[in-house]
Structure 1
Amino acid sequence: MNVWLKRPASRPHLEENFLDVLIVGAGLSGIGAAYHLQQRCPDKRYAILEARQAIGGTWDLFRYPGIRSDSDMYTLGYVFKPWTNPQAIADGPSIRSYIRETANEAGIMQHVRLGQKVTAVAWSSEEACWTVEVERVASGERRKLRARFLYMCSGYYSYDEAYRPQFAGEDDYRGTVVLPQFWPEDLDYRGKRVVVIGSGATAVTLVPAMAKSAAHVTMLQRSPSYVVTRPSVDTVADRLRHHLPARLAYSMTRWKNVIESMFLYRLARRYPEQTKRRIIEMAAKELGTGIDVGTHFTPSYKPWDQRVCLVPDGDMFQAIREGHASVVTDTIERFSSNGILLKSGRELHADIVVMATGLKLNLLGGAAVTIDGRPCIPNDAMAYKGMMLSDVPNLAMAFGYTNASWTLKADLTAAYVCRLLNYMDRHHKAIAVPRREAGVEPQPFLSFTSGYVQRAHTLLPKQGSRRPWQVYQNYLQDLLTIRFGRIADGVMRFGPKGTMP
């Protein structure tokens, strides 16, 4: 008997708005979650709510010049759908098309409800379900849905706001200021002087893309990041595709890249000084003579204390080497009418200033959460296997890796959610909740020193000092513990409708 599909006979008017699983977010994670659900739990009634008017998430939202992945597509792609484009480091439109193609091929689009934003979710143990408040973005109309299980695939940053520091003198500036997250479609930067503030993945993408037609692009950074070059085409993948079936070639390439990235990460963490020296040497070789690598490409932190920036085929190094772009390492004193005045006294003239200053993080799509009438603060909770929250029933969240492709963890999470749902069906349980254990010391959810992580320390949940509360940044370790670990591990508690186990 499938207890998930039983409906309250006395409330037939709720039939239309009563779901087994509600997925929030129709980006890379949400579409992948739906595919796994259809394959592994085909009798589940589900829907996907997406606040925007299109699917694709990050890859539909960001439209700035050069937008591309900073992970290879053989691991950023889904485990179940081969990436066949020869570009291993893919542009945003190609990734967006891949997500849409996946949704269309699998019949997922009929379950997607666009323009509907989740504003609040409330759990009732008595009814063993979530009541979800939904706002129609276009009209402001509000309604409610009910779901047995809530699967948050809304990412970890706000789509409505970016991190936007304020600088003195901005009102005096006569040029244009833009944010990459909200790129104007009609922005013409041909022949213009551009300053890009920032040194992360967005900045190193924007600089070479804009340098192709701008008069000059300057990357203004307060401190350097690690920047490494990688071929945009995986030659091994190409050879495998020519000699093997597409799915087998894709799987082999995926595993090759997983193992390679894990090896390089562990090497960097074990030998940070040697790794740092090697990365800087590679940058110096790419840049040639005349560039102060010690000032502009030598970070003060160890490799992978923050995410390493990837430039395919060394495009940013080439733009700098050829004089189309430059890097300035300094701090901003104030804006002037013509550009930016630095604390060193130098003035950078700019027609356009791009603030690639980072993301504003939030969790669970910013929705307010209550459990049996009590507010739930994610920051007070501990993350169970990096995908559920302590003492929060029937809720999972997709959260990817910081040192590898996001989708690797998202695929594992989706498969686990399906295992959990099927276990509950077999054992006739309506509620599943990971219960926080005494003696488990809280630790930061992420060990990154990046500004966006540090700014969000009051938003993110904690991780714990031992299993299953530790958040591994290790795909193989997660594969063993998530895919093959026991569902009923003593920490995950199960119970019937009417009481919290």
Structure 2
Amino acid sequence: MTTTIAPAPAQERRSDRSEPQHVDVLVVGAGVSGIGAAHHLRERFPDRSFVILDAQDNRGGTWWTHRYPGVRSDSDLFTYGYRFKPWRGPSIAAGEEILGYLDEVIAEDDLAGHIRYHHRVTAASWSTENRRWTVEVTRGDTGEQLRFITDFLWMCQGYYNHTRPHRPHWEGMDRFQGLVVHPQQWPEDLDLTGKRIVVIGSGSTAATLIPAIAREAEHVTMLQRSPSYFLAPPLTHELAVTLRSLDIPEDWTHEILRRAYSAEFNELARLSHEAPDELHTFLMESMRPLLPEGFDIDKHFTPRYRPWQQRIAIVPEGDLFAALREGKASIVTDTIETFTETGIRVGSGEEVPADVVVSATGFDLSAFGDVDFSVDGEPVAFPERVTWRGIMISGVPNMAYVFGYFRHSWTLRVDLVCDLVIRMLTLMQDRGATMVVPTLRPEDAGMQLRPWSDPENFNAGYVLRSQHVLFKQGDREPWTHMLEHAQEAEILPKADLEDGTLVYR
């Protein structure tokens, strides 16, 4: 993959020093989570110093590293956008539009001077004696080793490895004469004109990519081992069209649409638990009229799991189904037996011809960016720790993290988490506390520990294959996470920060 690395701005270069730099709050990650956290810090603590470190060469996280054709959000932007920043575009937006939105937040909050690109955090060590984190950083464009010291560490680095996608190995790949690419590492000069493409996978990436490349390719085949659920909403909510035609202020439109979309997805979440068969029927029947006549919907679009045990893929205006109707794309539901010189042979014996194979096979989860953590000289083994409300980790002082929703828009939780962390920092300030650490109470000593994600709740492949590197959850509040947005919107703003599970010193 060819990547153009822009030189670091002069302001950034001047701020890098070989001696340790101290900041009150250190934010790791300049994507949606980190920029959101920085906004709340600027708003509530204008006198506190902070820096945002990011290993990439630009802002945006996923939206910077993912550059495959058609890349877009599969969440509506009224909920994926921030609560404090109205979204003015279509409900479903392309990656470039989302980057533009983040650029506006960076400019309006004057964050550019706080962001350090090419800065990969490798280790973080806490000292109770000094009440500070020492953070080791490698500067990727120079190889320089840097050190930051901070009173509070805020991990906003996302949840997967940006440089190492999940790449299964299939029999016969070495003899395939074509090209195999992963969407996360899309070649900038890849020309698909007139090519036969096989996209392995059936999730959101495949559903986004296929309509975009079908326009130029000879044919695109989606090769899936098992189907996914799909939903085909309009590109822009009809309510947004109505409100904008009435010249309603954009911040009103944003809030109204944010509530409307939240209500819709809260209802889908409720049905997925209380009436999964009813939701399955709704999803199947909403797709049926959009598919080619005689299409085998039971074989190609009926998943093995109940609705929303994995994420529902969004195909705005049904563009994936349009590619199927026009004959530009097709679906093969089968297992891969082997790659051949000219394609892929599946379990039925059929050979699917291919000039290019796209492995839309997802990613592997990463525990806090694979940073080596230690507390008072002892390494932190996260699989032995328990989450506190999906925001902090037991026994790890002065460290919070942002992890969004799987079913709802990620950013809905960013705002809620930021509110709670700011409230906690305010409480520490008022109490004169320099340290806060989530601590199991005596009554929690025999608590049953559960996996990071209960497979009965959410069982996507990238979750199941990464459970062993992630922390646990308990069987009671506040040691649980993975709640629905409707629950957390009630719970987190009222969460008792002095119930004994957070120990202040």
Match of 1:444? Answer: 451
CA contact 1:340–1:349 (8 Å) conserved in 2? yes
Match of 1:286? Answer: 290
The correspondence for 1:161, drawn from 144, 160, 164, is 164
Name the Cα RMSD after superposition. Answer: 1.4
Separation (CA, whole Å) in 2 of partners of 1:483 and 1:378? 27
Separation (CA, whole Å) in 2 of partners of 1:71 and 1:404? 7
1:282 is displaced (CA, Å) by: 2.0
Match of 1:466? Answer: 476
List 4+ stretches of structure 1 deviating above 4 A. Answer: 13-16
Separation (CA, whole Å) in 2 of partners of 1:475 and 1:171? 45
How do 1:406-425 and structure 2 match up within 5 A? 406-425=410-429
Separation (CA, whole Å) in 1 of partners of 2:272 and 2:468? 29
Per-residue displacement from partner, 1:288-332 (whole Å, max 9, x unpaired)?
313111110011110011111110000001100110000000111
Show structure 1 runs of 5+ residues with no match.
Answer: 1-12, 496-501
1:462 is paired with a residue of what secondary structure?
Answer: coil
CA contact 1:19–1:47 (8 Å) conserved in 2? yes
CA contact 2:20–2:146 (8 Å) conserved in 1? no
1:42 is displaced (CA, Å) by: 1.3
Does the alignment pair 1:318 with 2:322? yes
Residue 201 to residue 166, structure 1, CA distance change in 2 (3 Å): same
CA contact 2:292–2:324 (8 Å) conserved in 1? no
How do 1:52-131 and structure 2 match up within 5 A? 52-85=56-89, 87-131=90-134
1:48 is paired with a residue of what secondary structure?
Answer: strand
1:480 is paired with a residue of what secondary structure?
Answer: helix
CA contact 2:439–2:502 (8 Å) conserved in 1? yes
CA contact 1:76–1:407 (8 Å) conserved in 2? yes
Does the alignment pair 1:488 with 2:498? yes
Match of 1:402? Answer: 406
1:280 is paired with a residue of what secondary structure?
Answer: helix
Separation (CA, whole Å) in 2 of partners of 1:306 and 1:145? 39
Residue type at the aligned position of 2:190: L
Separation (CA, whole Å) in 2 of partners of 1:84 and 1:385? 32
Does the alignment pair 1:355 with 2:359? yes
Separation (CA, whole Å) in 2 of partners of 1:66 and 1:200? 14
Of Structure 1 and Structure 2, the greater strand share is in 1
Match of 2:40? Answer: 36
Greater CA drift, 429-438 or 23-32: 429-438
Separation (CA, whole Å) in 2 of partners of 1:14 and 1:36? 29
Match of 1:191? Answer: 194
Separation (CA, whole Å) in 1 of partners of 2:19 and 2:241? 50
Per-residue displacement from partner, 1:251-286 (whole Å, max 9, x unpaired)?
121111112210121012211112112212222221
Greater CA drift, 477-486 or 178-187: 477-486
2:432 is paired with a residue of what secondary structure?
Answer: coil
CA contact 1:130–1:146 (8 Å) conserved in 2? yes
Does the alignment pair 1:142 with 2:145? yes
1:175 is displaced (CA, Å) by: 0.5
Match of 1:457? Answer: 467
CA contact 1:168–1:335 (8 Å) conserved in 2? yes
1:117 is paired with a residue of what secondary structure?
Answer: strand
Per-residue displacement from partner, 1:457-477 (whole Å, max 9, x unpaired)?
112211211111121432232
1:143 is displaced (CA, Å) by: 1.6
CA contact 2:19–2:147 (8 Å) conserved in 1? no
CA contact 1:403–1:473 (8 Å) conserved in 2? no
1:485 is displaced (CA, Å) by: 2.1
CA contact 2:139–2:145 (8 Å) conserved in 1? yes
**Alignment length (residue pairs):** 482
Separation (CA, whole Å) in 1 of partners of 2:174 and 2:272? 44
2:216 is paired with a residue of what secondary structure?
Answer: coil
Residue type at the aligned position of 2:311: R
Per-residue displacement from partner, 1:3-39 (whole Å, max 9, x unpaired)?
xxxxxxxxxx999611110000000110010000100
CA contact 1:193–1:217 (8 Å) conserved in 2? yes
1:90 is paired with a residue of what secondary structure?
Answer: coil
Separation (CA, whole Å) in 2 of partners of 1:284 and 1:477? 33
1:223 is displaced (CA, Å) by: 0.5
CA contact 1:402–1:473 (8 Å) conserved in 2? no
The correspondence for 1:343, drawn from 334, 347, 358, is 347
Show structure 2 runs of 5+ residues with no match.
Answer: 1-16
Residue type at the aligned position of 2:72: R
1:393 is paired with a residue of what secondary structure?
Answer: coil
Separation (CA, whole Å) in 1 of partners of 2:124 and 2:59? 22
Per-residue displacement from partner, 1:351-385 (whole Å, max 9, x unpaired)?
10000001121021110100111110222111111
Residue type at the aligned position of 1:443: R
1:157 is paired with a residue of what secondary structure?
Answer: coil
Separation (CA, whole Å) in 2 of partners of 1:138 and 1:15? 18
CA contact 1:201–1:310 (8 Å) conserved in 2? yes
Greater CA drift, 213-222 or 267-276: 267-276
Match of 1:8? Answer: none
CA contact 1:155–1:363 (8 Å) conserved in 2? no
Match of 2:3? Answer: none
CA contact 2:80–2:410 (8 Å) conserved in 1? yes
